[in-house]
Amino acid sequence: MATPMSAFFSAGESFTPSPVTATMAPWERRRREADRERQTERDRQTDRQRNRQTERETDREREKQTDRQRQTDRQTEKQTDRERDKQRETDRERQTERNNILLSCFRIKFLKTVLNVGVMGCLIG
């Protein structure tokens, strides 16, 4: 490597950077490296805390969604129960109506039979 002119004529260091010239004391370099390692560890801890916070928020959101789904399921179930009860009531009303019609038909036949027998009894007697 070429020697700068300023270094050639003077006994001290030149202002031109040289690969041989130490720019930092060894203890200063060790301190800075230790500082960098501590900062890196703090960054990792911060990242872990953020990840945990994100996981907790995600879990809370899942719980909310699950609760909403359960509520929707309950509402659907209630609606289904109401519809089923309404259908049962309608079926009961129809069955009662059929029974009333059959009973009316039976009464009419009975009365016809009684009247015919009564008329016949009057004729015979």
Distance, CA of 92 to CA of 87 (rounded, Å): 9
Domain, as residue range, for 80:
26-98
Q: Are 1 and 19 in contact (CB under 8 A)?
A: yes
Query: Stretch 79-103: mean pLDDT, rounded?
Result: 93
Does the residue 55 lie in any domain?
yes
In the chain the first and final C-alpha atoms are separated, in Å, by 156
Better pLDDT: 93 or 9: 93
Q: Is the pLDDT of residue 49 over 80?
A: yes
Domain assignment present for 121: no
Q: Is residue 116 part of a domain?
A: no
Residue 8 lies in a domain: no
| Structural domains in the chain (count) | 1
Residue 62 lies in a domain: yes
Asked whether the beta carbons of 37 and 43 are under 8 A apart, the reply is no
Q: What is the pLDDT of residue 114?
A: 75
Q: Tell me which H or E stretch contains 99.
A: helix 26-124
Q: Round to whole Å and give the CA distance between 92 and 16.
A: 107
pLDDT, tens digit (0-9, with 9 covering 90-100), for 24-43: 788 888 999 999 999 999 99
